[in-house]
């Protein structure tokens, strides 16, 4: 069984906690990155890393991300030599960066996961303001994290208000998965957007975990 095949999407959304190992470096990650972090741990033999995840749904209320990360740091820091925070700024307005600096934790220097999957310099250079992004996680969880939270299942007339200024959906693919690509294409169709797929792999997340 692969390192990420036994993670249920319900567990990521509701429990947050994915797995504890025996390593002395704690990785506190967004639940949206759980599969990717575990895949990198498995592929690179990163036995020194222990992973715990916060619920991905915190992205819908970014003001709650920093307090949740702080609570996790305080709960576990006595048991670990180092702490890595696998988040970008993610709408915290610099608060997460300041928190990590306060506790001596390392975090990814990026505004969000779209940026660090593609590579922050590449992402910034594109300057795309009319693109809506999906990752593997968001392709899987489109209804739970996009469609229903925006109320589009109940009020389809809101589609133009939310997405009228977008031109295309860009699927940043971490893996080669034909089913996920088809799902992402369907998401683009539902939003009335053109579709583009870019294979990014794990981008800066790989470099962050395997310096």
pLDDT at 120: 86
Q: What pLDDT shows up at residue 17? A: 40
Asked if residue 112 lies in contact with residue 137, where contact means CB atoms within 8 angstroms, the answer is no
Give residue 23's pLDDT: 61
CA distance 23 to 35: 18
| Residues near 52 by beta carbon (within 8 Å), at least 6 away in sequence | 16, 17, 18, 19, 20, 26, 27, 28, 29, 72, 76
pLDDT value at residue 48:
87
Residue 149 structure tokens? 């939270």
pLDDT computed for residue 121 by the predictor: 87
| Interatomic CA distance for residues 74 and 162, integer angstroms | 38
**CATH numbers and ranges of domains, the chain:** 9-107 (3.40.50), 123-199 (no CATH)
Instruction: Tell me the C-alpha to C-alpha distance, in Å, between residue 152 and each of 174, 182, 187.
Output: 27, 21, 13
pLDDT at 71: 96
Structure tokens at 9: 């999407």
Dist. CA 170–CA 39, nearest whole Å: 23
pLDDT at 127: 87
Contacts 24+ apart (CB under 8 A), 95-104: 95/66, 96/65, 96/66, 96/69, 99/66, 99/69, 99/70, 99/73, 100/69, 103/70, 103/73, 103/77
Give the C-alpha separation, 128 to 130, whole Å.
6
As a whole number of angstroms, the distance between CA 171 and CA 180 comes to 10
- Per-residue pLDDT, 47: 84
Please write the tens of the pLDDT for every residue from 58-93: 988 999 999 999 999 999 999 899 999 999 999 999
What pLDDT shows up at residue 15? Answer: 40
pTM: 0.85
- pLDDT value at residue 181: 98
pLDDT of residue 210: 87
Q: Which residues of the chain have pLDDT under 70?
A: 1-23, 211
């Amino acid at each position: 069984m692969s390192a990420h095949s036994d993670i249920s999407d319900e567990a990521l959304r509701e429990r947050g906690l994915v797995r504890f190992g025996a390593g002395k470096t704690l990785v506190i990650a967004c639940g949206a990155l759980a599969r990717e972090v575990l895949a990198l741990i498995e592929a690179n033999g990163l036995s020194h890393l222990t992973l715990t995840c916060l619920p991905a749904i915190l992205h819908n209320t970014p003001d709650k991300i920093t307090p949740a990360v702080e609570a996790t740091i305080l709960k576990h820091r006595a048991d670990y030599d180092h702490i890595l925070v696998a988040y970008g700024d993610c709408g915290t307005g610099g608060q997460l960066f300041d928190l990590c600096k306060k506790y001596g934790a390392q975090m990814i220097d990026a505004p969000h996961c779209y940026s660090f999957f593609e590579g922050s310099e590449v992402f910034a250079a594109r300057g795309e303001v009319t693109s809506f992004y999906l990752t593997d996680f968001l392709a899987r969880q489109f209804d739970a994290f996009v469609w229903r939270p925006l109320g589009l299942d109940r009020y389809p007339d809101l589609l133009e208000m939310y997405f009228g200024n977008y031109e295309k959906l860009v699927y940043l693919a971490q893996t080669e998965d034909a089913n996920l690509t088809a799902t992402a294409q369907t998401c683009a169709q539902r939003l009335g957007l053109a579709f583009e797929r870019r294979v990014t792999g794990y981008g800066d997340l790989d470099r962050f975990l395997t310096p």
